[in-house]
Structure 1
Amino acid sequence: MSRRTLLAGGVTGLFTVGGMALGAGTARATAERPPFAGCAEWGARPPAAPPTVHRRRAVRILVHHTATPNTADHSPEAAAGLARSIQAFHMDRRGWTDTGQHFTISRGGWVMEGRHRSVELLDGGTSVVEGSHCTGQNVVAIGIENEGTYTDTDPPPLLWERLRQTCAYICARYRINPIEIVGHRDFKNTACPGDRLYGLLPILRDEVAGLLGRRVEGAHAARATWPLLRGGDTGPEVLAAQHLLRAAGIAEAAPTGVFDPATDRAVRAFQTGTGAEEVNGLLGGESWPVLATTATRRAGDPDVRAAVRVLVEARPGPVPAQPDLPTWQRLLGTGGAPMAPVADPPR
């Protein structure tokens, strides 16, 4: 893997947001192709089965973090080792045919192909290789893993620059609106890609739009998403969730406004009962739509009415007799541009 090749078009035009250096989005008014390192360059194993190719364009980008140490080794050798370890974990431990995500970006800014044929099909712009990075989004979304853990730490400038450049190129090739750059937690009960990186997604959308000669600044870069609730959280969202869990038949969720052990058990019971992929006590993008849909069907239930009252007190506004999913999102404080309801085709 060539250090010179991967460093082509290095980091320029940085500015600071919240103490972190970010790309200004004006250094290059173009969707420049990142210096990808293909699977052969970083020493990938052959896939266990031929990649599944779909003759369609992706419609969004899903941002992940690897939840690995925030290493100070930014070398291409470290990046190649990361790619090999991810592939081995996905194939040997997960039982997948290849690396799950389409691309991996190291903390040093090296951009590596994940699943075989991802670069080839991206360059073509008309087909996509099916990934394994998020159930329901493996065909319609391009998955990008970012090396590190970004729960309470910002990604380094080298990674950020490559992430925005890579997203801009993907958006250009597949004609994706930058507003469709979203996080893993938007679809699953997970903290991925970490609170700090997830909180930077509106800036990422804006910068990618700038590289494409468009703007989605400020409120226009916000997405309608569900909150992520977990142990120790407090506030009206937690109290509303407890009422909605009770309306769904999980009586253990006492309406205290504190995400306590009893609420954790109630969320796990709801996840188990609704067939959630992850039964982990995190109330996120997979379980919220199911819970809100259940609440809409039981709009007359006292606990549903109590949940609405709690949320309206916190964020006043009109509420229909039977709140739909966008209304629940607005009440929960995460209103914004609605997410296109696109999922993988039935298999």
Structure 2
Amino acid sequence: MSRRGLLLGGLAVAAAATGVAGTSNAWGAEPDVIDCDAWGARPNSDVVPVWNQRPVKILVHHTATPNVTDLSRGAGERLARGIQNFHMDQRGWLDSGQHFTISRGGYVLEGRHRSLEVLRIGERQVEGAHCTGQNVVAVGIENEGTYTAADPPAVLWNRLRDLCAYICQQYGIDPTEIFGHRDFKDTACPGDVLYGRLPQLRTEVAGVLGQHVSRRIAAKESWPLLRVADRGPAVLAAQHLLREVGMTGVAADGTFDRRTADAVRRFQTVHRTEEVNGMIGGESWPLLVRPVRPGADGEAGRAVRALLASGAPARPAESLVGAEDWRRLLSAPTSLAG
């Protein structure tokens, strides 16, 4: 279980459902949100920073806690209190790290103090603590549960869509600017299943706002998450890139084995990434890739050719492959891990 999965401990005991949240809000209307006072939040330990700028994206997370069957409001409020206690007492933060939390029963709760107040104004941003590097430009939403292999409950999904639509409306955020935590960090969050449904979420949010987003644009190009047991061209490219930076003990065979994971951990340690976990995600990829010509000698050139050979969109041999090109090549369906 990830470190986020440790935050609630005994609060995840399931009980019978005693109620669920209300119906969907259309056209970007403000959804029902239980504010910090209403769920019994502790006072923040320091002044909550508020920036005089609008956020430009939304980050979706999951709590990596058990998928409980207690869908009551009380369960949602206990969740919020448990998260806040963990963040303040264990992490030493001034308050909950995320701006909003959605329970499995579909209750939307304010996370960090002032998040709802500032969102209603639509001009400024409460600084969060949900993703280093994104905390002053992105609204963070935690979704209760673990969505590695399970779908979120429909009521949670609907509230997530409603909340994202309201945030997009208030801040003028394009629905295509909804991301997962793993897009920026080496983490499985928000789980493979929920992450895989982000194109659907972008499309549905756009629909609520009366906009149209094509399937291609909604899918977006993203850094793939690579882990032990993954195979394929993206893994092979990563292994060549690791060898390029001196991890010569890695075999370039397209299988993400323990040796590859150990090399990734060494790389992460050297670069002081937030997580040293052997996974390659949205933080390690930008550090690994480098400008290179497709026909160049060396491991980086071999990485490009491995992706092109798999059917990724081709580039002229003399053109320079930069970070955005790498992401496009790696996000091609034939390049993804599997």
> TM-score normalized by structure 1?
0.87
Question: Which residue of structure 2 lines up, in the alignment, with residue 188 of structure 1?
Answer: 185
Question: Which residue of structure 2 lines up, in the alignment, with residue 338 of structure 1?
Answer: none
1:31 pairs, out of 4, 12, 28, with 28
SS at match of 1:42: coil
The aligned runs of 1:154-165 (5 Å cut-off) are 154-165=151-162
How far does the alpha carbon of each residue in 1:256-288 deviate from its partner, in whole angstroms, 9 at most, with x for none?
Answer: 211111100111111111121111101000010
The aligned runs of 1:248-259 (5 Å cut-off) are 248-259=245-256
Mapped partners of 1:91, 1:45: distance in 2: 10
1:66–1:149: 8 Å Cα contact kept in structure 2? yes
Aligned-pair identity in percent equals 56
1:71–1:148: 8 Å Cα contact kept in structure 2? yes
Deviation at 1:322, TM superposition (A): 2.5
Which moves more between the two structures, 318-327 or 255-264? 318-327
Deviation at 1:321, TM superposition (A): 3.7
Query: Displaced runs of 4+ in structure 1, greater than 6 A?
Result: none
Amino acid at match of 2:306: V
Deviation at 1:194, TM superposition (A): 0.2
Distance 1:299 1:43, change over 3 A: farther
1:92 pairs, out of 89, 105, 109, with 89
Deviation at 1:87, TM superposition (A): 0.3
Question: Which residue of structure 2 lines up, in the alignment, with residue 173 of structure 1?
Answer: 170
1:114 and 2:121 are equivalent in the alignment: no
Question: Which residue of structure 2 lines up, in the alignment, with residue 52 of structure 1?
Answer: 49
Mapped partners of 1:287, 1:296: distance in 2: 18
Question: Which residue of structure 1 lines up, in the alignment, with residue 331 of structure 2?
Answer: 333
Question: Which residue of structure 2 lines up, in the alignment, with residue 264 of structure 1?
Answer: 261
1:189–1:286: 8 Å Cα contact kept in structure 2? yes
Mapped partners of 1:70, 1:105: distance in 2: 13
Deviation at 1:124, TM superposition (A): 0.2
Question: Which residue of structure 2 lines up, in the alignment, with residue 147 of structure 1?
Answer: 144
Question: Which residue of structure 2 lines up, in the alignment, with residue 304 of structure 1?
Answer: 300
Question: Which residue of structure 2 lines up, in the alignment, with residue 126 of structure 1?
Answer: 123
2:228–2:256: 8 Å Cα contact kept in structure 1? yes
1:274 and 2:271 are equivalent in the alignment: yes
How far does the alpha carbon of each residue in 1:34-55 deviate from its partner, in whole angstroms, 9 at most, with x for none?
Answer: 1000000000000110100101
Question: Which residue of structure 1 lines up, in the alignment, with residue 311 of structure 2?
Answer: 315
Mapped partners of 2:294, 2:48: distance in 1: 44
Deviation at 1:297, TM superposition (A): 9.5
Mapped partners of 1:330, 1:57: distance in 2: 28
Distance 1:137 1:297, change over 3 A: farther
1:63–1:184: 8 Å Cα contact kept in structure 2? yes
Which moves more between the two structures, 272-281 or 165-174? 272-281
1:185–1:285: 8 Å Cα contact kept in structure 2? yes
RMSD: 1.8
Question: Which residue of structure 1 lines up, in the alignment, with residue 16 of structure 2?
Answer: none
Mapped partners of 1:101, 1:276: distance in 2: 20
2:21–2:105: 8 Å Cα contact kept in structure 1? no
SS at match of 2:320: coil
Deviation at 1:251, TM superposition (A): 1.1
Ranges in structure 2 where 5+ consecutive residues have no aligned partner: 1-18, 334-338
Deviation at 1:309, TM superposition (A): 1.5
Mapped partners of 2:189, 2:261: distance in 1: 19
1:299–1:322: 8 Å Cα contact kept in structure 2? no
Deviation at 1:217, TM superposition (A): 3.0
1:202 pairs, out of 195, 199, 214, with 199
1:99–1:115: 8 Å Cα contact kept in structure 2? yes
Deviation at 1:220, TM superposition (A): 1.7
2:67 pairs, out of 52, 66, 70, with 70
Which moves more between the two structures, 296-305 or 45-54? 296-305
1:83–1:114: 8 Å Cα contact kept in structure 2? yes
SS at match of 1:142: strand
1:6–1:36: 8 Å Cα contact kept in structure 2? no
